[in-house]
Structure 1
Amino acid sequence: MDIHDIRKQFPILDQQVNGHDLVYLDSAASSQKPLPVIEALTKYYREYNSNVHRGVHTLGTKATDGYEGAREKVKRFINAKSTEEVIFTRGATTSLNVVAQSFGGGHLQEGDEIVITYMEHHANIIPWQQVTKSTGAVLKYIPLQEDGTISLEDVRATVTSNTKVVSVMHVSNVLGTVNPIKEIAKIAHENGAVMVVDGAQSAPHLKVDVQDLDCDFFAFSSHKMCGPTGIGVLYGKKELLEKMEPVETGGEMIDFVGLYESTWKELPWKFEAGTPIIAGAIGLGAAIDFLEDIGLDNILDHEHKLANYALERMSEIEGLTIYGPKERAGVVTFNIDDVHPHDVATVLDSEGIAVRAGHHCAQPLMKWLNVSATARASFYLYNTEEEIDKLVAGILKTKEFFGNV
């Protein structure tokens, strides 16, 4: 994995921001896009832009091949059994809402339990809160260890025979914690519950095998893994998806429409109402090709090295608090004593360094950490140790600017 060759594939990185070379450390929010993805989108719009499935003309056939070809790539990428189990959505948030509304709304009843954790992204909290209001189910939280990890003993103590859904993020977007999904899924299934996984922060960075994890649903987004915005994936086991009702209706998902009743297409199209996200799917397919060509194991190894180097360098800074476990994904979330995270991000931006500041769509976790907000640097395959050095220098400059030395 030659980092310099990889960086050449990302034209956006070759620019200056506020008079400094851009250091982009916000890939957990949204990754940058390589040339093969940009070119795939351009080629679709320039050469075979057309709707899919409905027509028999040449452009429509080519667009359909590209769209369904992307579905086949996703199937291989996550090792699903069939393309019937791969549904294109607007993103991980939409995917989790589909599971909550369709599976949760159709299967849960008063007294049933939904189990999640304090580290969840809002996209894996609010949909379940809404389901409890309509079904009478109750929401329970697996507690966190002091370092922000999950204990399997706590999982066993929280999940009961009344639990019907366990929904956990694979990798924390704040703490970098990598959760033991396979083991949690086993506990969930032993109690008769389904396992839902928010994979928004794992699919871009590590090899995902949904069959090995034995999860029942897995959600992820394209824009965090070098693909376009506006498209994501919901994986679901076929036997569960077949029993679920679509959340959106009309257009592409119909089989027969009568005056007073209608029937739906088979999987996966039952859940893809209207004109699908054709260009997005094609772009996602190109992103998968790009990531697989580099190798997910190589990407994960590179990010681990960056995270360890960042922890080593940043731990030397006095008055800096770092949140999360020692073993983590490529995310370092931190605060400087007596300096608001937004001020930290503003000073860093003046140095050309892009980090995220705020609650990171994880307000319950912020409350657990006893803070209102944090700053976050997140790394991806195109980042370097030299950029981490610039981050450290920027943090030191921030401290000096605010008199925190």
Structure 2
Amino acid sequence: MLADKRILLIIGGGIAAYKTLDLIRRLQDQGAHVTPVLTRAGEEFVTPLSVSALAGSAVHRDLFDLTTEAEMGHIQLSRSADLVVVAPATADLMAKMAQGLANDLASTLLLATDTDVLVAPAMNVRMWEHSATRRNIETLKADGVSFVGPNAGRMACGEFGPGRLAEVDEIIAAVHAKLSDGPLQGQRILVTSGPTHEPIDPVRYIANRSSGAQGAAMARALRDLGAEVVFITGPATVRPPEGVQVVEVETARQMSEAVDAALPVVAGVFAAAVSDWRVVNASDRKLKKSKDGLPVMEFAENPDILKRVSRMGEGRPSLVVGFAAETNDVIDHATAKRLRKGCDWIVANDVSPATGIMGGSENAVVLISDAGAEVWPRMGKEDVARQLAERMAAALAQ
């Protein structure tokens, strides 16, 4: 969480400025105090009233505000925050930053601050790729400025390519990475979560009862210890956590591709309940009852993501944690699974219907490692996640 963290948010001009309204709300939901600064160009896209209403404080707009300048307000404003966030950061604003210009409130604050600065660029693709912008980016990085985004996609102007403002979740994840001071500070960790859906036809699929609650709790716990979390989730019933990079997938093969794209990471937590099989002859039309009898479905094995990552060799995460949902002989089956997959730890639990664990708010796990089987008492899934995240932090510090 971002409890009591003070964020100075500089809102630049550009159509993407509307996303900062959601960014303000989401940062406040996590306990942060947001002080907004709105550039003249930014006012063309969002109003001072809407920004002020969401932030719950006055919007700073003018450099020569006599009320605050009597106490050198722009200097105080630039140094009272824990982090300065510029979103959207236009090509013009980044050029001012790189050249040390200070002809308005935003650029003056950025020149006067001794606080870390995080910029989220947004501009036309040609502007982003221009040699002048590339030089400015290198200058800013050399000065210690951090970047999040931009993403590739279709622009408001109709062109396609890099230049879209990073999604709010990505910006929040970057804010967490900058402000967290936990034992996993700066460590990139992958978490998979939720079920996968394997299509039978356009309206039917093979799935399981996983809610994704334990995976989401793991992502939050690792985030709170300072990790940069990549959260790859199937179609779960719980919301993805704030402050992590969220990648949504549906099938096991999509999850496998997303895992590959997220590597390298220092650790991987594979909490997803991935379907073992998929339907090879899935229909592109809804299957109908027929006098010819039941449809015949052909199955194939899905990628074994945990085993593949565990046995990668070069580039393997330092710590690979798998999960094993069992209905009987939990320790025996999970111990055999750890050896078969090659992962470092297995978090095993009994998901038989009588336990109420699958889809519930509690869990009772056994942590299986080289040291043997360690039985944990039944507790809330958030508590399980915190305890496991702390154990991971200790292992990675060795």
TM-score under structure 1 normalisation? 0.25
Judging by fraction of residues, say which structure has more strand: 2
Query: Bigger radius of gyration, 1 or 2?
Result: 2
TM-score under structure 2 normalisation? 0.25
